[in-house]
Amino acid sequence: MHINILMATFLSTFWGMYIAQSVVHSFVAAIIAEGAIFAWKVRTPQVKQWFRFIVISLPLILYPAYQLISSDRGNIYFRISSLLDTNRWFLIERWGLLPIFLLFFAILLFSAIVFILQELVPILSHLAGQTRTGDQSINNNADHAINKKVLKAIDGLPVDARIIEIFDDDDLALYSSTGLKPMIHISTGLIKSFGVEHLQVAIAHEIAHIHRSRRPMLIFAYLLRVLLFFNPVAAIEFRRLAYEEEKVCDDMAIALTGKPAILSEAIEMLRPEPEDFGTGETGNAADRLVSTIEHYGHDALLKSRAARIGRYDGHESLWGVPVIVASVFIIVINYFIV
Amino acid sequence: MEPQANRIVKSLQGLFTMLAVIICVVVLLVALNWLPSLIQKDYARQFQNVEEAKKAAGMATILMPAYFPEGIEWPPSFIVAQKKPYQALMTEFVKTSSGATFLVIVQASSPEASKQFLRIRLHDIREETGYVLRGRPATLRVGICDGTLCSEIQWTERSDYYDVVYKASPFELIKVAESMIR
């Protein structure tokens, strides 16, 4: 059978239509969500997270819901009168008579591979690592001065000193692990480099992460994103949602400490040095390129976070009406996209 | 009261801006739907007459019934044809009294067309049997479409697939199908 007819056959099946339409619906949902953020001048990261969440979640269920409403949605009558018939694009034959759908399919395949290599494998190996070391006691050899500095920093913060683990590392490292036994891990390098106030806002940020993990929108969004592993729009929106989480925790840290300028400085201190970009890798040129891109990306995120805190005005954006209106438009418009 | 009033004003301002955004999105989608027709004109389109549709589909021969049961109108009320990804031509005929589609004929170079082009579908197949239609092996089905008795016949001729669905008894349908083969 000719490849075009094979493609057309696949695109008329449930899964063919689901894959094609869920990606296009995500794309349209992302545009509408950005439109709503612009229209209502949304600046609050929690509200932005709701928009990212609906962009990830709605396209997952829209196609089956539409098919329940109208099972004839895939036939030619509906397609002819639709707002956008994706088959008109997908079945265009270019470049040696191959339909554009093959290019689209290649993008989805690439997105699925990136998901497996960059998200699934690291998470699984991290979980495996946690299982192996979960019962080991923490060997805390931090000296008295370091302990004293940390205790001084957490004074007044809603945190139990026992959940703080200090590990011996000259790098500036600070992260939290959530779950049943939440922990905050701080490197000795960071404690030595940071002043007490900087250390306090940094720990407050991690406390916010632990506090937020009790209402795990991010985990739920990730599970939905796993189901749409082939969808590049869902991948981008999930990353943006995770990035907004950092901003939410920044805002919570400011609310806990009342020190926005100090937090901004602390974030600036965590930015990688330009000479670190693309170095330190023992691998080949490709590894160094990936390392450079990652460093630039990380640096850009930290830079924008620090800049945002500089502009922090405690302004609360509207969320109910914008989120509902955007959702309704996403649902209605996508119905006419097949 | 002041902050509450401010919130309402902000909501309304945002709503108007959002409506403008939505209009832009719809215009963009309409343009995206139209653009492929500039690149490739062979995708399914509606036509006003059978000759135009036949030409667009690039079909050398199309089979049309010579016999129409009483009450079924000529010309076809709805015609769709495409050249790619496979050749297909569909004609629909309405009943004069009700204006509802009663007869659908699909001729295509792929059996896939039946899934895409049939507005009337047999939901509850009560009988399926082989039938010889003027010497050609065919499949005849009887069932229910939209709550009424419905019949469907499918056969292959040269390299084309034919599918005729009629909201009537199989005897009436066979008369229509036989009149297509001369």
A322 shares contact with chain B (CB less than 8 Å): yes
Q: Which amino acid would we find at residue B138?
A: A
Inter-chain contact B14–A4, Cβ cutoff 8 Å? no
Answer yes or no: is A136 within a domain: no
> What is the pLDDT at residue A150?
87
Nearest to B44 among A72, A76, A84 (CB): A76
- What residues in chain B have their Cβ under 8 A from chain A's Cβ atoms? 7, 10-11, 14-15, 17-18, 20-22, 24-26, 29-30, 32-33, 36-37, 39-40, 43-46, 80, 84-86, 90, 110, 112, 115-119
pTM: 0.83
Q: What number of residues does chain A have?
A: 338
> What is the pLDDT at residue A274?
66
Of residues A281 and B4, more confidently modeled? B4
> What is the pLDDT at residue B79?
94
Answer yes or no: is A37 within a domain: yes
A4 shares contact with chain B (CB less than 8 Å): yes
> What is the pLDDT at residue A277?
61
Query: pLDDT tens across B60-80, in order?
Result: 888 999 988 888 888 899 999
Number of domains in chain A: 1
What is the residue-level pLDDT of chain A in tens, covering all 338 positions? 577 788 888 888 889 999 999 999 999 999 999 999 999 988 888 899 999 999 999 999 999 999 999 888 888 889 988 999 998 888 887 655 667 888 888 999 999 998 888 888 887 887 776 655 444 334 455 578 888 888 888 888 888 888 888 888 888 888 888 777 888 999 888 888 888 999 999 999 999 999 888 777 888 898 898 999 999 999 999 999 988 999 989 989 998 998 888 998 888 888 877 666 655 555 677 777 777 777 787 888 888 888 888 676 666 777 788 999 999 999 999 999 99
**Tokens coding A226:** 């796993």
Ranges of each domain in chain B: 1-39, 45-180
Interface probe with B: pick from A91, A98, A327, A328, most Cβ of B within 10 Å: A91
Nearest to A39 among B21, B30, B36 (CB): B21
Reported ipTM: 0.83
Inter-chain contact B90–A76, Cβ cutoff 8 Å? yes
- Which residues on chain A are in Cβ contact (under 8 Å) with B80? 76, 80
Inter-chain contact B117–A40, Cβ cutoff 8 Å? no
In 3D, which of B7, B2, B18, B19 has the Cα closest to residue A315? B7
Inter-chain contact A77–B110, Cβ cutoff 8 Å? no
A13 shares contact with chain B (CB less than 8 Å): no
Interface probe with A: pick from B11, B17, B29, B112, most Cβ of A within 10 Å: B29
Q: Are strands B124-133 and B101-108 parallel, antiparallel or unpaired?
A: unpaired
Answer yes or no: is A178 within a domain: yes
Inter-chain contact B18–A36, Cβ cutoff 8 Å? yes
**Sign of the C-alpha dihedral, residues A256, A257, A258, A260?**
negative
Residue of B nearest to A4 (CA): B85
Residue of A nearest to B121 (CA): A72
Q: Is A292 exposed, middle or buried, given 0-12, 13-18 or 19+ CB atoms closer than 10 A? A: middle
A330 shares contact with chain B (CB less than 8 Å): no
Distance CA B180, CA B66 (A): 6
A326, A36 contact by CB (below 8 A): yes
> What is the pLDDT at residue A136?
39
pLDDT confidence tier of residue B98, bands split at 50, 70 and 90: confident
Torsion-angle region of residue A79: left (phi > 0), alpha (psi -120 to 50) or beta?
alpha
Distance CA A28, CA A337 (A): 9
In 3D, which of A189, A198, A132, A197 has the Cα closest to residue A166? A189
| Domain span holding position A150 | 3-131+141-335
Q: Are strands A183-187 and A164-167 parallel, antiparallel or unpaired?
A: parallel
Mean pLDDT, rounded, for B94-103 = 87
> What is the pLDDT at residue A111?
93
A269, A198 contact by CB (below 8 A): yes
Query: pLDDT tens across B137-169, in order?
Result: 999 999 998 888 999 999 998 889 999 999 999
A287 shares contact with chain B (CB less than 8 Å): no
Q: Which amino acid would we find at residue B91?
A: T
- Which residues on chain A are in Cβ contact (under 8 Å) with B26? 83, 333
In 3D, which of A254, A258, A244 has the Cα closest to residue A305? A244
A81 shares contact with chain B (CB less than 8 Å): no
